[in-house]
Amino acid sequence: MIITGDEVLEELKKINGIFTDSHLVGTSGKHLAAYFDLRRLFATRRDLLERIGHQLGENLRDFEPDLIVGPETLGRELAGLAAAQLGIPAIHLSKRPVGFSDGKVIYHADYRKTDESKNDPEATPGKDWFLDPKLPFLELFTEKNTAPRVVVVDDLFNTGYSIQNSIAFLREELPKITGVKQAPEIVAAVAVIRRNPHDGTEVTAESLEVPHLVFLKDIDASTPLTPEECARSGMCSKRVPMLPRPGHGYKFLAENPGYPVAE
């Protein structure tokens, strides 16, 4: 059954999954005034999550992907659902070394900031990714001996840093794991919702260096602020209470004792 981005928003409203006029911290560490908590669907509306995943799969069909990859957390679920719709393999990138086939880390690459970029506010933050190379998709690419056509799926395009680091991991590390010399061809990046502040900071196909960007809904939203920007002229400067969850506000509150906490 087809589902639209507007329907997704309506369902999110029903389960209190939309936060506006708030103060949160996203995965990138930037401060946000609005947040769309699609993870609530995993706990309360599995049927809707499946419809979303299948819709994403249909929207990707014309790209003829060989593999769909989803970064943890919700990207993992959406990648599996979209891939099932297309009858192709899916894998996920894990944030931590758990759940692997032999109980230990098998393959790991650290995509955190380099020493040279740590003091560069414009540098893309990095991320640790863990991947099990015993997954059966390896046989497919070894037999074909060609670069796979890959789509990367996540729930939200906020700053785009999770997708950027996923793509970097796949391009640089997947050939080492599979033995296929060519880097995978990333044919598209896809999400359910894109935050669009209309100020040039929105995620685009060009900013991700992919040919296609796919999403179900484009949402007008304020620009994410670095902690320094927020302290200087944003919500922190006005002492707007911080939401511990969703997002990573709890980390900010631990590092800033005495800062007001939102109920």
Provide the CATH number for the domain formed by 5-255 in this structure. Answer: 3.40.50.2020
- 108-111/127-130 β-pairing: antiparallel
pTM for this entry:
0.80
Lowest mean pLDDT among 51-65, 112-126, 187-201, 227-241: 112-126
- Select, from the ranges 117-131, 189-203, 237-251, the one with the highest average predicted confidence (pLDDT): 237-251
The answer, yes or no, to whether residue 138 has pLDDT greater than 70, is no
What is the average pLDDT value for the chain, to the nearest integer?
A: 82
